[in-house]
Amino acid sequence: MSNIYDHDLPVEIRNRLNYQVLACDTETDGLEFRRDKLRLIQIATKEGDVYLVRNPDFTSYHVRDVLEANTIIFHHAAFDLKFLQWWADIQIHYKSIRCTKTLAKILGYEFSGLGSCLKNILGITLPNKERKIAKSDWNIADLSDEQTLYATGDVIYLHQLHNKLEDQLDWDNTGNYIQAIKTIKGIAELEMKGLTDVLSYEGKPNLNLRRIYQEHINEIRKIVEGDK
């Protein structure tokens, strides 16, 4: 069952979701985190309870508390982390991040998309896993049944998938997985700050991106201070 909320989780749900391992996914307007808005955060417990939060922002304090206080399983952490931090100021420590896509790549699976992983590893085929739903309007007044089913399917099996993949790790790949997660988190931070040029051998600093980041931080501060 999926529970849908606007902007933030109720306080009673926040209190219920403490000290757990949770699965998380996002739906956005596109692929560029500075331009395309975060429209939906999906959170799933290992028991199968799913919570959908529509149009979160910097004042979505309860969903932020939940994601920052727990261990979080993503499928594509490199994507989700940037949108969560840019649009909702959600900052998850690398030690609390898990990623099934990263695991699948480290273990040598040929295809690491969620649909492929679920089918090849768990024998699960998601209904309505269609490109047109992923690209649909997540800002409409009421999510359609197809959108709700799609969004739920993106998180409800991540606990099971992560456990299955983690069981396949040997000593060396466990170290590789930890290093990969640290790197993903680090690169996400650099990208948001406009510091991607530090990873290249040559090239001028992108001062425009750095300026955009500073303006964004100033905007967050104004909104948060005005909400107090």
Domain with residue 178: its CATH number is: 3.30.420.10
| Count of domains forming the chain | 1
**Secondary structure letter of residue 122 according to DSSP:** I
**103 belongs to a structural domain:** yes
d(CA 178, CA 97): 9
pTM assigned to the model: 0.94
In a domain, 162, yes or no: yes
**Which residues make Cβ contacts (< 8 Å) with residue 202, sequence separation at least 6?**
none
19: left (phi over 0), alpha (psi -120 to 50) or beta: left
In a domain, 206, yes or no: no
The answer to whether residue 129 scores a pLDDT higher than 70 is no
* Residue-wise pLDDT tens digits, 137-146: 999 989 999 9
User: Is 220 part of any domain?
Assistant: no
Judged against a pLDDT cut of 60, whether residue 228 lies above it is answered with no
Asked if the structure places residue 178 within a domain, the reply is yes
pLDDT digits (tens, 9 = 90+) for 110-126: 999 999 999 999 999 88
Phi, psi (rounded to 5 degrees) for 72: -120, 125
